[in-house]
Chains A and B, each alone.
Chain A
Amino acid sequence: MIQAFFHHPLHTANGKGYLDLRIEVGKGRLVAITGPSGSGKTTLLRMLAGVLHPRQGKIIHDGQIWLDTAQGIRRRPQDRQAGMVFQDYALFPNMSVHENLCFALSKADSPEIIGELIGMFELKELLGRFPRQLSGGQQQRVALARALVRRPSLLLLDEPLSALDPILRSRLQDYVLEVHRRYGLTTLLVSHDYQEIRKMADWMIRMDNGAIVEEGSPSTLLKLNGDGLSAIFHGLDKEGMALFSRDGKFFTLPASLVEIHRWQVGQEVLIRIEG
């Protein structure tokens, strides 16, 4: 179980603003985070991992305080059990795949986990290669394996699958699901792909302008893909995203996904996405 709240300056699509949110994720859940670029998704993950220090905030993870700005408590990223996979993978260019994995091992850890991860992610053939010799999908597998070496209890995935082609993407989704279940992880996954969210997540959060604008089970929120979701259409925002509101909460969708040419501003519409 992770509970957190944050208050931190954020450069949003509408200029300077604040990331202001409260989040609670039960142990063992896989939560998808979605929202337009600049809405604060990466910022949120970076603050949970501890590589970004919020101006105000608090994180309690399984009863341990990772952060409490009011009390001046701040656990370093090194001391949080959080694994993070960055959007660009952040593999170390000077190290081979095997060295990248072993780097994450601390002196006290048993090296068995390396062998286990190599097997699980089918990395045996790649061990001697350097990151620049790997395809995007291979880099992603290495990055995911590396993030698991320390046996984290919280896994943070910053849109790691976005750059991959659909077939590879589907296979890597299976990898993520397998490690999520096998190691009993709590996982936060940034994703824009509704199919991916439906397949993987049991909870979904939609962010915009540094705030959570909507959350719920993907099946409810993603009725979009099925029966459709009724909402009020507000036209296009500055980024060219279609803006809607539902029960007083605003959310946006890529305009290309929906049939905006048929709607008028202020009208209640049925949003449905063919996916």
Chain B
Amino acid sequence: MDGTFWETMGLTLLLAATTTALLLLIGVPLAYFLAFTRWRVKPVLETLVSMPLVLPPTVIGFYMLLAFSQESPIGAFLLAYFDIRLVFTFGGLVLGSILYSLPFMVQPLQSGFEHLPPNLAEASYTLGKSRWETLLRVLLPNIKPALLSGLVLSFAHTVGEFGVVLMIGGNIPGVTRVASIAIYDEVEALRYDNAREYAIALVGFSFLILLLVYVQNRRQHQRFGV
């Protein structure tokens, strides 16, 4: 395990952590909206959120590559006015990962909100609490298992992504080269020992993180019966 290994693993975890944190900020309001809206467009939004589950990641990566390249109006605009480059950069990777892992955050949260007794929020309102305070103090604390699932699955899914990263990030060491790309790269160069290190690290990591979810959900179930 040399410096490159640690650099790549560090970048992988940084990408996953950044993506997960941003997904939490986007996912909670989006899931809350989807769970409680009676708007007719809801199924369309739900479909859009779920698209990354069925689309090949390369499709998402491909469209993002087109959209953010300097030849496209969006990419040119971002570069000209904000000096933001999204293709082959870490920022682009984060954006791609957010899109790709969106359903893994939104779906557990939405289901958590929908399964709460509606009386909880109403009781909170009659006790004088705003929607915001109700969300923070009543709704979110009572969907902790869903929250944990969303966080862990988004994190793990980002660690495991390949297609999106390859399309829009490429393989720049220290910038966009994450563990899954490194494995592919090492195997192509017939450096199987290096590939094995990454592979073992990812298997161990995935096992631990899923174990954490199941143990925690079990504990939650015993404690609150929810």
Contact = CB atoms under 8 A, between A and B. Distances in A.
Interface string B119-161: 1101111111110000001100110100000000000000000
A92 B144 CA distance: 13
Contacts of A150: 127-128
Interface residues on B, range: 20 to 34
A155 to B, nearest CB: 11
A147 B119 CA distance: 13
A242 B174 CA distance: 79
Contacts of A82: 126
B225 interface: yes
Given A92-B120, A93-B224, A50 B126 contact: yes
B119 A86 contact: yes
B207 to A, nearest CB: 30
B226 interface: yes
Contacts of A88: 117, 119
Q: Is the interface of A mostly helix, strand, loop or mixed?
A: loop
Interface residues of A, number: 26
B137 A103 contact: yes
Contacts of B225: 93, 132
A51 B126 contact: yes
Given A88-B117, A103-B127, A150-B128, A77 B122 contact: yes
A104 interface: yes
Contacts of B117: 88, 90
A141 interface: no
Interface in A220-259: none
A78 B128 contact: yes
B46 to A, nearest CB: 25
Contacts of A46: 122
Contacts of B141: 94
A86 B142 contact: no
Given A78-B130, A103-B137, A90 B123 contact: yes
Interface in A77-102: 77-78, 80, 82-84, 86, 88, 90, 92-94
B147 to A, nearest CB: 12
Contact of B122 (A51, A92, A103, A147): A51
A146 interface: yes
Contacts of A59: none
A67 to B, nearest CB: 15
Nearest to B226: A93
Candidate in B117, B122, B126, B128 with the most chain A CB atoms within 10 angstroms: B126
A94 B122 CA distance: 16
* Residue of B117, B123, B128, B224 contacting most chain A CB atoms (<10 Å): B123
A90 B226 contact: no
Contact of A90 (B119, B137, B144): B119
A109 B142 CA distance: 26
Interface in A144-184: 146-147, 149-150
Question: 5 shortest A-B CB distances, which residue pairs?
Answer: A90-B119, A90-B123, A94-B141, A51-B122, A104-B127
Interface of B: 117, 119-120, 122-130, 137-138, 141-142, 144, 224-226
Interface of A: 46, 49-51, 76-78, 80, 82-84, 86, 88, 90, 92-94, 103-104, 106, 130, 132, 146-147, 149-150
6 contacts: A51-B126, A84-B123, A90-B122, A103-B127, A103-B137, A147-B127
